[in-house]
Amino acid sequence: MLPIGEIYSVLVYAENRGFFADLEKLYEGLPEKECTGCNVCCQNPPDASLLEYLYAFRYCREALPEQQAGIIKRAVEYFFLEPAVPEQMCPFRSAENECLISPVRPLGCRLFGLLKEGDYEKLEKERVEKLKALAEFLRTEHGIELPHAVLASRPYCDRSLGNDTARVRMEQVDEYRMRLLMLDTGLVNPELVFRRRTLCPLPVHLAISVLNAGVRAKRLDVMRAFLAGSREPLDKYVGRVAGCRL
C-alpha cells in the first residue's frame, strides 16, 4: 500500500515504537509445526497487514539482496495476473519450494495447517464464494472470463499434529487478526485500517510499492490482454521494475 519513498520512514518509526517486537510476540503464541512442502497454501498467499508487510520488506532488504530482483518481478506478475492464473506461486516461494521469508512470513501463512478441518473448510468456502462473486463481476462488467480452476477449493492441510489440542481455534484466529489490525492503527489512519484497506497479500503490497498505487487502474487491462494471449502490457510493467532494489 505504501509507495517505496515512504516505506523507509515508516519502517524506522515501527522499529522505534517496538511494533516489530509486538508482532514477534504475536507469532510466538502460535504452535510451530513442520511444513510438508505441498505448496498448496503458497498458491494463494493470504492477506497480510501493513506491519507484516514492513516486517517482510525489511527482511528482504537485509537478508535477500540477491533474490530481490526476482521477487519484485514475480510480485508484479502476481499483482496483474491474480486471480487469472490460479497456478501462480507466491513470489516469495523459491525454485526449491521453500519460503524465502519463512522467519517473517505473515500470520495467514503460519495458520495454514493449524486449524481444525471443519474451521478450515468454513474459511475455504468463504474464500471460494468471494472468488465466485469476483468472477461473475469480471465476466458481466468487464468481459473477463476467469479460468474455472480459479474456483477450486484447496485441500485441507493436516501437518500430522496428532491431536487437536495444538490446533488454533477460530476465536483465537479472530483475536490474532484483531491484534494485527490494532498494530496497524499505530502506523496509519485507524479508519483505513478498520475498512481493511491495509490488508492484502504480500506480493500486492510489494507491487504497489514499486509501481505506485495508480497502477491498480491498469490491472484489468493487463489481465484481459494476458488471457487473450498477449504478454505485452504485462512485460511493460515488469520492464519498469527491472533493476529496482528494496
Which residues bind to ligand SF4, rule: CB under 6 A? 41-42, 45, 90, 92-93, 99, 101, 105, 109, 202
- Minimum distance, C-beta of residue 230 to ligand SF4, in the bound complex (Å): 28
Q: Which one, 84 or 202, has the nearer CB to ligand SF4?
A: 202
Please report which helix (H) or strand (E) contains residue 144, including its range.
Answer: none
- Minimum distance, C-beta of residue 140 to ligand SF4, in the bound complex (Å): 30
Q: Which one, 18 or 37, has the nearer CB to ligand SF4?
A: 37
Q: Which one, 103 or 190, has the nearer CB to ligand SF4?
A: 103
- Minimum distance, C-beta of residue 66 to ligand SF4, in the bound complex (Å): 17
Burial class (CB in 10 A: 0-12, 13-18, 19+), 173: middle
Beta strands in 106-222 (DSSP E): 200-201
* Unique residue bearing C-alpha cell 520492464: 239
- Minimum distance, C-beta of residue 225 to ligand SF4, in the bound complex (Å): 26
- Minimum distance, C-beta of residue 102 to ligand SF4, in the bound complex (Å): 6
Q: Which one, 154 or 218, has the nearer CB to ligand SF4?
A: 154
- Buried b or exposed e, range 96-135, using 16+ CB within 10 angstroms: eeebbbeebbbbbbbbbbbbbeebbeeebeeeeeebeeeb
CA angle, corner 193, sides to 70 and 86, nearest 5? 40
Q: Three-state SS for 145?
A: coil
- Minimum distance, C-beta of residue 26 to ligand SF4, in the bound complex (Å): 16
Sign of CA dihedral 6, 11, 17, 23: positive
Q: Which one, 62 or 191, has the nearer CB to ligand SF4?
A: 62
Q: Which one, 45 or 76, has the nearer CB to ligand SF4?
A: 45
> 103 with 156: CB under 8 angstroms?
no
